[in-house]
Amino acid sequence: QERSKRFEKVYTHNLYYLAQVYQHMEMFEKAAHYCHSTLKRQLEHSAYHPMEWAINAATLSQFYINKLCFMEARHCLSAANVIFGQIGKIQTTEDTPEVEGDLPELYHQRKGEIARCWIKYCLALLQNAQLSMQ
């Protein structure tokens, strides 16, 4: 069972690295696919840090907003809110990065970043609705 856990962890890391490679190669569709797969697997295996996971999900929403895929963007942002709400409520794993500096300040900064992504989502949704009415 321990071997299986290690394999799953390595596989998830590989998906993450593929997302980074495709992002660097400007193959954004594939990068988004692998980013989504990474986030999904992290949730399935409870191998994530809530703050980092939430920021990554909110960042992924921006890809979907640019593609006018509003349902997917909203799903990412909603998931980001739910997982961000877990900060301090779940036990951290050995994979949890050490947070340096003032945690409350970082908490509020990240919360603001997610809120900014929501604002961008709402603005894009309204702009798209306006264009479709013309």
CA 36 vs. chain centroid, Å, equals 8
Give, for all 134 residues of the chain, the pLDDT tens digit. Answer: 899 989 999 999 999 999 999 999 999 999 999 999 999 999 999 999 999 999 999 999 999 999 999 999 999 999 999 999 999 776 555 454 545 557 789 999 999 999 999 999 999 999 999 999 98
Task: Clarify whether residues 85 and 39 are in a common domain.
Answer: no
Task: Clarify whether residues 41 and 62 are in a common domain.
Answer: no
Task: Clarify whether residues 72 and 128 are in a common domain.
Answer: yes
Structural domain that includes position 115: 49-134
Task: Clarify whether residues 71 and 121 are in a common domain.
Answer: yes
Task: Clarify whether residues 96 and 67 are in a common domain.
Answer: yes
Pair 87, 51: CB distance under 8 Å: yes
Number of domains in the chain: 2
Burial (CB count <10 Å: 0-12, 13-18, 19+), residue 53 = buried
Task: Clarify whether residues 78 and 103 are in a common domain.
Answer: yes
Task: Clarify whether residues 8 and 72 are in a common domain.
Answer: no
